[in-house]
Structure 1
Amino acid sequence: MALTLYKKKRNFKETSEPAGKVKKSVSKLAFVVQRHKASRLHYDFRLELDGVLKSWAVPKGPSLNPKDKRLAMMVEDHPYAYKNFAGEIPEGNYGAGIVEIWDEGTYNDIENSSKDVAVKRLRAGLKAGNLKFQLFGKKLKGEFALVKLKDKEDNSWLLIKHNDDYAVDSDYNSEEQTPKNSPINKWLDENKKQPAKKKSSSKLP
């Protein structure tokens, strides 16, 4: 049942996104951050838990500055195989646009427990709306928290960096941590170079 909504939103005859199954990793828990150029550019933050990827859309992307409290909107669970997905979702499909992997790695609970213990603690944190964890990525490292906003929409959370050895006190912009030759940046550059269409005096239908 965990992937029912995910599958309902997608036509797998048209999109190359994985239909996927509930599947647990063999050893360490996985995480991925995908940069997604859909109707708006945003970042998808995903944590493996109970055989799926718990997922949040983060408009401004993650930050290593503890002063930044980044809005994170929880969305439907994604299949475990989605952690490897990068490519283009065709027009007319849900989330149409380009997806690229911005960061990936493993993660654990804040105490760096054994996997079985960590899963129980992470599960409890998610249910309580106060999920604390450590990331072991290429860009994102150290302690973070996802905190559910009270008196807001059910899916409104904040992604916050803890003040640890990996924290920074300067401005952090996820876009500046993205290679200039990434697929999305190439698309953005190409569309900037295209001449603007001349305005027509006739009314649109």
Structure 2
Amino acid sequence: MPEATDAAGAPVFVVQLHDARRRHYDVRLEADGVLKSWAVPLGPSLDPAVKRLAVFTTDHDLEYATYEGVHAEAKYGSGAVIVWDAGVYTNLTRDKQRRPIPAGEAIERGHLKVHLRGVKLNGTWAFTRTDSDWLLVKVRDESADPMLDLTVSEPRSILSGLTIDELAATRPTA
């Protein structure tokens, strides 16, 4: 997995599957020295017609990008966590004059468009703030596939190779 801001200088992203009170995918993007995070209950979709709820959550330390394990109620919540996907991303967000907008500023403005290059997820997604939450939507591109659900076909961690249930059964609570 790439380290935060990999050798080529690209910021990292990670998608962690978290089996908390409710199982969800935490989509995290490196920006402003932290991981900006959204809880996506159903996970990222490759179908541009699908709008996924994305609840903006607390920032996480960059080191958390490689966290995988089971922990009791703690700083980031209880339950099993696997690294479902990770890689680097390019911020594609632009203003009306086509000038780049830094990721942190784009998040504050309520719209961020990124191109992911991960193990499982590749292509462009948009995060858009609504009145109360955010939406995560796949942009129509060569990686869009309405027939493929990676949350079903690719359930394993890219680090350990375990499913979240296998990890929960084999790791002690920390």
- TM-score, with structure 1 as normaliser: 0.69
Aligned to 1:122: 103
- Aligned 8 A contact 1:25 1:51 in 2: no
Aligned to 1:87: 69
* Alpha-carbon distance in 2 for matches of 1:163, 1:169: 10
- One-letter amino acid of the structure 2 residue matched with residue 177 of structure 1: E
SS in 2 for 1:83: helix
Aligned to 1:9: none
SS in 2 for 1:71: strand
State the shift of 1:48 in Å: 0.1
* Alpha-carbon distance in 2 for matches of 1:165, 1:149: 27
Aligned length in residues: 157
One of 79, 95, 108 as aligned partner of 2:90:
108
Cα deviations across residues 24-56 of structure 1 (Å, max 9, x unaligned)? 636210000000111111110000001000000
Which structure: larger Rg?
1
Higher strand residue share? 2
Aligned to 2:37: 55
User: Pairwise CA RMSD of aligned residues?
Assistant: 2.5
Structure 2 gap segments, 5+ residues each: 94-98
Aligned to 2:142: 165
Higher helix residue share? 1
Give the 4+ runs in structure 1 shifted more than 6 A: 187-190
One of 51, 76, 79 as aligned partner of 1:69:
51
Of structures 1 and 2, the one scoring higher in RCO (CA 8 A, sep 6+) is 2
* Alpha-carbon distance in 2 for matches of 1:140, 1:176: 13
Change (3 A) 1:187 1:83: closer
SS in 1 for 2:166: helix
Structure 1 gap segments, 5+ residues each: 1-23, 112-116, 191-205
